[in-house]
Structure 1
């Protein structure tokens, strides 16, 4: 284009913008295959996209592009797609002249960097694209247009038309690959597509049509000109084909995109099965289209965009095991990776009693020596550095020393015999590192027997490949017709010589023998045995080692062989899972109402010691919120008590046992009279539920009084008395039989610290609830309260509150309950129980959480009179409550509290910690109140000490920084979510206290 022509074109564009849109600005040309595209920078700083469509184009296709944006503006206005801007005359399409007659369309500009040019692409980028396309396709389900119902060569759903144009591909290797993909599409893929959902799809989420923001999230989707009515799964195929270009791990990119799409817009299993084929089909179509168009218009550079990338990425995908990728795609969608695997395992477990031994059928109860070749095991260390002959000697000696019939070898990640470089390359990106089967070490020549009837399916002798000797797969069928295989490796070549594919074998029939080391690559003589539900198209070349990172898929392909062996030792490898996988599986397999701590940056905790939790990397986290492990995580005395009793006896409490009575006596001795009768249960919720039954049996009344914002448990009866729940999100409101009294908050409530009568005044609202009941002819059965109000904000009720409240309830014939599930067992330091700090004796006390230092146990303690009223002929029995193991654990906890002077520790450290925080309050006005008793403390944060505006967002920041920067775990509490709660294990130390105070000082100083 010469300068004069450019000036003329620029002038025409300026005139067009002024005449139709009243705009003045600069136009920057952008690439495009059919349209003229320009970035418009207006004088006011606004940006637009100007598209000039060829007037001789397909009018229905242009009308479709206009209609779809109008549709999306109505049904999905949140999607990051361009909005059409009408001209001053009100039209969306406006006649224009530039390189011939055109139709002009002005669109809002979408900020971002093209995917193809972005440096910040991550798995999160792929996930954001998947979510966007899932939402887009949901919105397009209700869209239809004649322009979409076209025969379009870029529609993967009609890829077969490109078989007629293969000659345009000059490169013979490339042509052969493309031909094979298209022929498979015709023979396998398209027939299977027939049952999949169809709809209008965008069809072109390529790397030049997707925009990313600075954080790498999708910020825009461009160009609806390739829309077509096709199979929905083709939308994902197109997006995956371009998203993985340049990615370190193409399959991981596909999975991230697919999983996110599926969460928004669930796929069907058949779609997941076809996706990998369709991604490759898209590449084949792209290569064919480019080859044809380049021949027709060799001077159009746009046609060359991505073609080198396409061929390189197609070659990478061709090197992947297609079946394995498909199983991983199924897993990413939450489908069983191998659909038949569950049925196969059910058949095996149901018939295991009838299986024949693999080795030595005469041995009914074989003696085995287990070799553990996983990381850091003694066997792994013993063979480190040995050659194969040395390993053979070691194994034979260990079997002989144990007097065993044979040896069983287990292999974990990255250790043992299977760390050989020969096992690399199962996928393009991940090294195979974890044994899929089990090795049975026995002398060469040992006969191998079929565990159940089968047919010889596949045979391979890899003497010329990796030297592992003959491998055999027998095929079997379950009673429901599901096929599966058993794999036998390291066999004797001579013993396999007479076997033929299709040959039937009976249960227990000897069909081969173990090979010598010399014919099995020098490996110690053994049988590699493996269950196989899908041989991945590899037949007898089936992998014997998988990838730990994808263990859920590999374990479906090769299930735990223990079910066949029936040995008295575990044969399965245990594989630790990543945090991402655990989160994903929790969301799928565990109710989502169970939250995950620190959800954006969850912790995987594998150990605990004292006041610390330990993650999978060995990092120690100071735990300042776990009042369950009261005497310290994994306290040796508690652990030993549990182990010792578990090894002797564990049964229910109907049998006489010393520990149960001793524990009841020890526990009641710590409470004031007349609280001397125990009921043992498994959780604080069970304890509080039983307390309601006791109170109703004794009083004959049903109504209950609770304190506002309290929480007393997760059972239905306790949600009823937990305003924290029934007034919260998902709650159904206060039940008719429940009465809510005012939260006695001396910091921000009606009566403050300065009022010496605040306790009695707050208790007057309890009296009002009793009076309101009386007006309806009713009386209270039970008044619920904690000694310190936990979910209320770690609140210490004003002095005299419980005394006055109890008197009002008791005057009306009701009972009073002290919920010590959170604060009991000396945590308050000055007393064993928090209610004692208020100078009251309740009628019922409920205990939980710290009672067993993490073991699930709890108790209700009441008077003999109340307990007798409950003994009305209906037996109360709890299967696990009061079992010998729980009783011994409970006794050990009491011993530790006593012997380690933990009450005193709680008192001293609580004062040290609160004094330190009050000192920080002199520097940081955000600290509004510091309250608590012992090691049950609340720090309330406010933006203004006069208005008490809650600083909830600031607290969230502080908790995050304390975790990320200082390894200290904290949490929030209170109706306004602005109270930092502190309730660490009582093994918390003075050094821990100073560590916390120093870290808090630094974080408060860094508050934005």
Structure 2
């Protein structure tokens, strides 16, 4: 006891003498070093390490690397070294022997091994941390890192001599196989991969997690080595996957997170799975070596239980598919040759033969829906094999068809029919990898394209195919692929042997009967195979939804082989997480996703509601595109009817186009009477600029601040919302920006009867500024209600005065009705009419086609004539018969359902209700709008108008999550609740919204936050 107290006192004195610290020291585990947590008097915590004498070069490396990281990447979650009073980072001390003292900052959290908060976030944050770490270490060099080190798995071959001492035949065989593959396949590829210094030991005791399960720090740089970079990922994954439900998924997630911040090469991603297995093999061999050196230390064998258990789990995985999953997670093609094979097949399809031929004519084909969405899914799931055979026969007879088709990509209800085998399930939910062609037993089956017999299989229980043939083919570029023919007769295999050449159209077998084809109604299952995954003739015919993007590359759609007259493939439903990932890979990331990080997967819509994949109905209060309601039956019927008759361009005469132009222009005041039809509001506004420049001979444009008029280059130029925002390049020289007329927080406010004319003065100033440079405006852009400006109605008289200033300088005036037109404002058909003006050009889009991509420009005959200057104007799709029919149907519904009046009545009800709520909720600063185009501005203080963007953020989340109401925000300060639902939005919808708004604002006022 006296020795212990003396030791503690000496240690405390050492801490004070070296670092000027006083506090409590708590001993921590350590194999060679003495480690102590220092709980200083000022509340801070540190790690005191007293390094044992030994490998001085390794210790110097650890000191050097932390100093390098402190300079190169100070944000990294690693300890920082605290110098002693004299400035040294290492100080010789005498405490239980000669040692080197080092003080480090403490990393808060629990080590991975002891944390209950482990999750997928733990894996991904570890991968990201290691990616950033290795990026920072890319230019770090130290002699200590160039050691020959037993735990550098790139040197695994050096441990082969210990294999004979591994206990257990199964374990020994697994280690030998891993080492053999390492020598023949992995090491040659690894030697070509990037090399650098890595941490090399991100194990579950060196990784610290916070309370949320995210990585908060990385400890112990004592295993650092200069080696192949990808080993960093493999070592970390070997520990991270312990005890997980999906070990390959953990490896893939960690590798993908690393790759996102420190891109891997394709070769590196392909090696990760093998290197994780190699790490386990090295661990087994190192323990075997240590047991040989320390035969009494049985603990070394106990510590290997996790290693052998996890290695056995990985050995049970299909290694080829595991590598594909990791490649895919990192953004590489799961099957490198898949795209090349697909292109070759498309280019050569004209030479393919029909696998089942009807002599003298094209076959009559009918679709057999075996999907989970089939109207007969419940019935199909109860049929036995014989009853299913009768079902297929009836379908063929009733359709007068030669073949019935079971589709590729179908999520199957009945893929596993057995012949009275009670042990086999009658229905599974897996995705079909081939196309089924149902016909009579004994029907000849022909090779679609020339090849050679690769594999034969007659294990009906194993793969459910019955007798199966895989033919081998090779593209002109040398890529090998296979065609699989399943459910053949047993006799079919007797006439074939591996290596045998088969010509296109040559008979390779016949359809098997129920008793021999795996228990199915007679049919051919034909499947493309780019990689047989080492399964050879036992290749599977169904894949999982979770890995569909990989199965699509392993077995692409075989429709290209068949040239069928009906669609023979489906798009299986995927998870939201998968869809987000694929959007980011396949679609430009600048295309945003609503309601991230919990986006909605919408599969249907009706009226004012969107419907998600679970059948939940979401009240849509932001969709002014589906103006007359989602999927309005009259609009759908008009589109379907015209699509089935004719769709062509507007160069041909067509009654509907002219009638639509007549009906549309009749809704405008004179002299607006000439139409140009385009496909989007952006196209409409771009064409309007061309019209104005042709008519005026001027080039310059005037726009209102914070406006948005479209995504084309010409329209980004007149959209301060874009050119002054993130990624914008500022105002172009040919554009002038007028002050935004905001009656709530602008210079001139509610109650000023001359506010409109005062704000219009800034338009006059922009015109004068152009004149001072010898220029004049071609066009003045303005909406009737400012959308991105914050749902701002214009002050009375604003457009009248602004138009007068522009026209006095020879310019034209445009009313952008893309968002607010077609009766939405309630009092009028067009928002510009609320200002008592007639513009020179009107543009419209969004609601014009109720979701169909169409738009229009309306102008005067005089301006249209100026544009007819010899250069033909033509738009391939603008004004096509289908669009015109849809446009007419929308006008009919607006008229017949009295939607303009409805917007006025419901909009007034909603605004009155919101203003009443403002009496109870001071965060509501302003309620404004016309009809069903409404803004509710949130403020923290009605005197200072401090914007309450946090209140809007809270509202958007809570209205969605708690009330299933979809809203959005707007305005320069992001503090305006934007309301613009489909026009049929009714009284019950309005009251539901107001009640929900009251409830959420009440919780916000109590201090709740999202």
**Structure 1, residues 155-175: CA drift from partner, whole Å, max 9, x if none?**
111111121112443233222
* SS at 2:179 equivalent: helix
For residues 360 and 215 of structure 2, the distance between their equivalents in structure 1, rounded to whole angstroms, comes to 63
Q: Which residue of structure 1 lines up, in the alignment, with residue 18 of structure 2?
A: 20
CA distance in 1, matches of 2:788, 2:298: 65
Q: CA deviation at 1:4?
A: 5.0
Q: Distance in 1 between matches of 2:968 and 2:416?
A: 43
Matched, 1:522 2:511: no
Q: How much does 1:727 deviate?
A: 1.0
In 2, the alpha carbon distance for the partners of 1:519 and 1:763 equals: 85
Q: Which residue of 2 aligns with 1:96?
A: 93
Alignment partner, residue 558 of structure 1: 555
Q: Distance in 2 between matches of 1:268 and 1:169?
A: 34
CA deviation digits over 1:767-795, x for unaligned, max 9? 11111111111111111110001111111
Distance 1:364 1:379, change over 3 A: farther
Residue 237 of structure 1 deviates from its aligned partner by 0.3
Residues 184 and 99 of structure 1, relative CA distance in 2, 3 Å threshold: farther
SS at 1:653's partner residue? coil
Tell me, yes or no, if structure 1 residue 700 matches structure 2 residue 697: yes
Is the 1:432–1:546 Cα contact (8 Å) retained in structure 2? no
Deviations 1:524-554 (A, max 9, x none): 2222211100000111111111111111100
> Is it true that 1:980 corresponds to 2:984 in the alignment?
no
The question of whether the paired residues in 2 share the 8 Å contact of 1:321 and 1:536 is answered with: yes
Residues 544-581 of structure 1, C-alpha deviations (whole Å, 9 max, x = no match) = 11111111100100010111111111222321111111
1:531 counterpart = 2:534: no
Match of 1:477 in 2: 474
Q: What displacement does 1:659 show?
A: 0.7
CA distance in 1, matches of 2:301, 2:894: 76
1:267 and 2:264 are equivalent in the alignment: yes
8 A contact 2:381–2:414 mirrored in 1: no
1:674 matched to 2:668? The reply is: no
Please give the alpha-carbon distance, in whole angstroms, between the structure 2 residues aligned to 1:416 and 1:903: 48
2:212 to 194, 212, 215: 215
Residue number among 862, 866, 869 corresponding to 1:869 in the alignment: 866
Change (3 A) 1:814 1:437: same
In the alignment, is the contact (CA less than 8 A) between 2:385 and 2:418 conserved in 1? no
Q: Deviations over 1:608-628 (max 9, x none)?
A: 111111111111111111111
How many Å separate the matches in 1 of 2:909 and 2:297?
A: 76
Alignment equivalent of 2:183, drawn from 186, 193, 201: 186
In structure 1, which of residues 946, 951, 955 is the aligned counterpart of residue 943 of structure 2?
946
- 1:40 matched to 2:67: no
- C-alpha distance in 2 between matches for 1:485 and 1:267: 30
Matches within 5 A, 1:412-561: 415-418=412-415, 433-463=430-460, 465=462, 468-561=465-558
Measured on the aligned residues, the alpha-carbon RMSD in Å equals: 1.7
CA distance in structure 2 between the aligned counterparts of 1:301 and 1:918, rounded to whole angstroms: 77
1:91 deviates by 1.0
Query: Contact between 2:468 and 2:485, CA under 8 Å: does it hold in 1?
Result: yes
Mapped contact 2:484–2:527 kept (Cα < 8 A): yes
- C-alpha distance in structure 1 between counterparts of 2:984 and 2:509, whole Å: 61
Q: Structure 1's 412 and 357: CA in aligned 2 closer, same or farther, altered over 3 A?
A: closer
Higher mean displacement: 303-312 or 977-986: 303-312
- 2:118 aligned residue: 121
**Does structure 1 residue 771 correspond to structure 2 residue 768?**
yes
Equivalent pair of 2:84/2:91 in contact (CA under 8 Å): yes
Q: Which residue of 1 aligns with 2:916?
A: 919
Write the distance in 1 (CA, Å) between the matches of 2:463 and 2:701.
75
CA-CA distance at 1:299 after TM superposition: 7.5
- Once residues 410 and 452 of structure 2 are traced to their aligned partners in structure 1, the CA distance between those partners, rounded to angstroms, is 33
Question: What secondary structure is seen at the aligned counterpart in 2 of 1:928?
Answer: strand
Residues 462 and 538, structure 2, Cα contact 8 Å, conserved in 1? no
CA distance in 1, matches of 2:65, 2:478: 48
How many angstroms apart in 1 are the aligned matches of 2:64 and 2:320? Answer: 40
Q: For residue 631 of structure 2, give the secondary structure of its aligned residue in structure 1.
A: coil
- 1:871-924 residue CA offsets vs partner (Å, 9 max, x unmatched): 111111111111110001101111111111111111111111111111111111
Matched, 1:759 2:726: no
Q: Is the 8 A contact 1:127 1:257 kept in 2?
A: yes
Matching residue of 1:287: 284
* 1:820-859 equivalences in 2 (<5 Å): 820-859=817-856
> Is the CA contact (8 Å cut-off) linking 1:373 and 1:411 kept in structure 2?
no
Which residue is equivalent to 2:644? 647
- The partner residue of 1:903 within 887, 900, 905 is 900
Task: Name the SS for the 1:650 alignment partner.
Answer: coil
Q: Report the count of equivalent residues.
A: 997
Pair 1:335 & 2:335 matched: no
* Structure 2 residue 240 is the aligned partner of structure 1 residue 243: yes
Pair 1:880-2:877 in alignment:
yes
Per-residue CA deviation, residues 449-496 of structure 1 (Å, 9 max, x unaligned), is: 111110011112215646743221110001111100011112222221
Residue deviations 1:246-268 (CA, integer Å, cap 9, x gap): 11111221121111111111111
Judged with a 3 Å threshold, the aligned counterparts in structure 2 of structure 1 residues 302 and 693 are, in CA distance, closer, same or farther, namely farther
Match of 2:350 among 353, 359, 371: 353
Separation in structure 1 between the aligned mates of residue 185 and residue 555 of structure 2, nearest angstrom: 26
1:384-423 equivalences in 2 (<5 Å): 384-410=381-407, 415-418=412-415
Distance 1:588 1:620 in 2: 29
Partner Cα separation in structure 1 for residue 635 and residue 598 of structure 2:
31
User: In 2 relative to 1, CA 703–621 (structure 1 residues): closer, same or farther, beyond 3 Å?
Assistant: same
Q: 1:683-733 CA deviation, whole Å, 9 max, x = no partner?
A: 111111111111111111111111111111111111111111111111111
Relative distance call for 1:666 and 1:573 in structure 2 (3 A) is: closer
d(CA) in 2 for partners of 1:260, 1:118: 21
Local SS of the residue matching 1:923: coil
Cα deviation digits, residues 378-430 of structure 1 (max 9, x gap): 453443322111111221232233222232223766643225799xxxxxxxx
Question: Shift of the alpha carbon at 1:298?
Answer: 6.6
Cα distance in 2 between the residues matched to 1:76 and 1:300: 41
Q: 1:990 to 1:528 in 2, by over 3 A?
A: same
Aligned to 1:810: 807
Q: 1:419–1:433: 8 Å Cα contact kept in structure 2? A: no
**Equivalent of 2:55 in 54, 58, 77:** 58
TM-score with structure 2 length normalisation? Answer: 0.97
Contact residue 380 and residue 415 of structure 1 kept, 8 A: no
1:45 positional shift = 1.9
The CA deviation at 1:199 is: 0.8
The answer to which of 809-818 and 403-412 deviates more is 403-412
1:657 CA displacement: 0.7
Task: Indicate conservation of the 8 Å contact 1:445/1:515, yes or no.
Answer: yes
Partner Cα separation in structure 2 for residue 91 and residue 364 of structure 1: 91
Q: CA separation in 1, counterparts of 2:461 and 2:761?
A: 91
Rounded to whole Å, the distance in 1 between the matches of 2:83 and 2:450 is 75
Shift of 1:521: 3.6
Partner residue, 2:569: 572
CA–CA distance in structure 2, aligned partners of residues 558 and 778 of structure 1: 63
Asked whether the equivalents of residues 359 and 446 of structure 1 are also in contact (C-alpha less than 8 Å), the reply is yes
1:178: how far off?
A: 1.6
Aligned to 2:221: 224
Look up the SS of the partner of 1:241 in the other structure.
Answer: helix
Partners of 2:707 and 2:790 in 1: how far apart? 10
Alpha-carbon distance in 2 for matches of 1:18, 1:297 = 40
Partner Cα distance (1:106, 1:443) in 2: 81
1:690 pairs with 2:680: no
Match of 2:929?
Answer: 932
Q: Name the CA distance, whole Å, in 1 between partners of 2:586 and 2:462.
A: 42
Structure 2 stretches lacking a partner, 5+ long:
420-427
Structure 1 runs not aligned, ≥5 long:
423-430
Q: Quick one: structure 1 residues 782 and 305, their matched pair in 2 at CA, closer, same or farther if it must change by over 3 Å?
A: farther
